[in-house]
Amino acid sequence: MRNPLLRPRALVAAGAAAALALTAAACGDSGESDADLTWWHIQNQDPLMSTWQEFADDFAADNDITIDVQAIENQAFKDRMGTASQSGDVPDIFHTWGGGVLAEQVEAGLVQDLTGKLDCIDSINPIALEPYTIDGKLYGMPFDAGVVGFWYNEDLFAQAGITQPPATWDEFLAAVQALKDEGITPIALAGADKWPGHYYWTYLAMRTVGLDGLASAAEAGDFSGDGFVQAGQMVADLAALEPFQPGFESAVYGEADGQSATMGEGLAAMELMGQWAPQAQRDNSGTEGPENLGFFPFPTVEGGTGTTTEWLGGGNGYAVAADAPDEALDFLCNFMEPDNYTRAIAEGNLTPVAADVAAVAPDLNEDTQKVVDALATATGTQLYLDQAYPPAIGGVINDATEGLLLGQLTPEDFVAMVNEAWAAEA
């Protein structure tokens, strides 16, 4: 049985890592700052944006330092970190999902080895550290972990006569059609951000070939198997039903008219998203979100080897720049102080990574408990492919999935693009 939390594929390409190590003549994207610490994070909506700022202000005051805090939207953060990494000038503390992206930053000498340096490490479940562990050394500290599944509006499902969540792909397509027949938008999707769309192809590949088949393809750099073509065809078949909200092609995830807000306002019946979705629905819509919000795993595919207890997912954590001062390490552990972490879990609906969950989260809310239960029964997990694989590969998968969803690529085109990207990394 696979480990019940996330296992990154340590796929580091020397050429790409070397590119990350190049130092641009101009100042790096992290920018010049007179602050003692710079910190980039993606909690750009309240309540956590204010909570993170308060944590930084309190730590700065207690330690007589200054911290330049920048809250950046998810996709914008990825873009800025890519530029900063290429310049060789990264913030002292920055968000990371671990996996292949972090591995390349490590290979480029941009990230500090945290092994044995964090006094708080024993308070964290060791399994949650795996996405941030590369060649036996720790390069990041998680504060949240979870899985991607379908969050759905139970009232809209009932309105369309759907009495239980679909368990198979055929049942899922039937549910999409039933919602459309009732005049309900079935799925909210942030097409412009691309990463939400890649969840569909990834999950369908996981269901057709299984986690072992996906791992074998990555190790060989060859996604030519029938199961991967089938996964692409199923994405295309879904898109042909026109299940997404009008204008999804230009929609982003975290804005007032984006994917999460569409769900929060009750304008779509479901979204395929991670553990942060319920809070994001509330934050971005300015509402309380759907009154009855359910959660179900990605369906199985007839004849496929994957199961509903195999989950796509990942965590949220922080890495430290190679040249960051010692205060950066102390600041990370400040997060895991019981009072701070308990507050963060409650305010941000975080899925705890604590070794003793009951000690920091004795009363998890209903939405978070659903994710905790999914993790507890998971028989296998896969880190998001745009983080598990080197950036050049993950980016191609995101782009190619967008092509499938827009009808611009065939499943065979998708496979060819991914294989070409792997060949370029070899």
CATH number at residue 360: 3.40.190.10
Mean pLDDT of 223-240: 98
Looking at the domain assignment, is residue 378 inside a domain?
no
Report which of residues 362 and 292 the model is more confident about: 292
User: What is the number of structural domains in the chain?
Assistant: 2
The whole-number pLDDT of residue 34 equals: 76
Question: 341 and 260, same structural domain?
Answer: no
Q: How confident is the model at residue 323 (pLDDT cuts 50, 70, 90)?
A: very high
Question: Could you identify the residue written with the tokens 């296992």?
Answer: 7
Looking at the domain assignment, is residue 132 inside a domain?
yes
10 Å Cβ neighbour count for 292?
Answer: 12
Question: 340 and 269, same structural domain?
Answer: no
Domain range for 239: 149-312+384-425
| Residue 110 in tokens | 């941009």
Q: Tell me the C-alpha distance between 59 and 72, whole Å.
A: 21
Least confidently predicted of 86-90, 220-224, 258-262, 359-363: 359-363
Q: Tell me the C-alpha distance between 94 and 80, whole Å.
A: 11
Question: 141 and 282, same structural domain?
Answer: no
Q: Are 94 and 81 in contact (CB under 8 A)?
A: yes
Looking at the domain assignment, is residue 262 inside a domain?
yes
Q: Tell me the C-alpha distance between 78 and 84, whole Å.
A: 10
Question: 402 and 367, same structural domain?
Answer: no
Radius of gyration of the chain (CA): 21
Question: 265 and 208, same structural domain?
Answer: yes
Mean pLDDT of 143-163: 97
The whole-number pLDDT of residue 375 equals: 87
Sequence-ordered list of residues with C-beta below 8 angstroms from that of 261, at least 6 positions apart, any chain: 255, 281, 284, 285, 286
The whole-number pLDDT of residue 6 equals: 38
Q: Are 315 and 97 in contact (CB under 8 A)?
A: yes
Question: 296 and 246, same structural domain?
Answer: yes
Looking at the domain assignment, is residue 14 inside a domain?
no
Question: 322 and 308, same structural domain?
Answer: no
Domain-terminating residue out of 336, 354, 373:
373
Q: Tell me the C-alpha distance between 216 and 128, whole Å.
A: 23
Considering the entire predicted model, what is its pTM?
A: 0.84
- The C-alpha angle with vertex 217 and arms to 211 and 223, in degrees rounded to 5, equals 115
